[in-house]
Structure 1
Amino acid sequence: MINFATSRADYLDIWAKNYRLGESVLYPISGGDVRVNTPVQLQILPVILVVDDDEFVRKMLESMLTKRGYSVLTAADGKEGLKQFEDNSASVSLVITDVEMPEMTGPDMVKQLPSSVPIIFISGNYGNSLTISCSNWFVFVPKPIDSQKLLELIAGMVIH
């Protein structure tokens, strides 16, 4: 027998009588027609790997990007970044990396990534220009980072 609730009190009474541990059933409140909404097409934004030895910068970028709907992976240096990329290579669409880091620099890490992966190099040590030899499509962004410009760059570099 199916019980339909016509009020919140009825719903709670039906729930209390029929509830079993680990089971949840919802019944319509009214006996009217039930409308099914058209499924919403969710846009899944790309995964971005952020590699920076400065924890503040890493957390700031992660927060900014996740608030915009991106999935973010982080690493504290080039070696860790390379490992993160290898473990998630099918999903990473863009790498944002500092230039100078302990263990392995950003450019050394990028040389080991597929050339199809776009790169955004960030650094506070090179003014507005930097010469890097790599086969990846890359852009250099000086620190301090202008978040709006960075978001525009990311939107233009990743494939949705």
Structure 2
Amino acid sequence: IVVRLRRAQANYYARRFGVKLNPDTQVVATLGSKEGFANMAQAITAPGDVILCPNPTYPIHAFGFIMSGGVIRSLQVEPDDGFIPAVERGIRHSIPRPLALILNYPSNPTALVASLDFYKDVVAFAKKNDIIILSDLAYSEIYFDGNPPPSV
């Protein structure tokens, strides 16, 4: 049953996001995003690793890494400033260099939806700075205007 679930999830990602995933090596079945995020945090985090996390955010985004020994740097996004400058500030004020950047759009708790251009900018920035992007898509199928939210 789990094999069929992983296959179905890989097919969904191909249809919805145009991403080809190997269901045997790139799809994990969990009880929900909390378990998935916490397990992923344990898998990639060493004690002292810095994780950049938007504030406010869904609690497991920070706590999964804290429980794994990581250090959270909250990203305060100023009105009229933008997300990339907030990430740049987070990098400048982090020693050691951040391991990962958490994204959560559509956002819980703010309901903010990011544009495709936003994702393009964040991906380019992450590649340039060698930072892992961790994107929580828990609410990607809840939208009301006929335009599904994009993803990484």
TM-score, normalising length: structure 2: 0.33
TM-score, normalising length: structure 1: 0.32
More strand by share: 1
Q: Which has the larger radius of gyration?
A: 1
More helix by share: 2
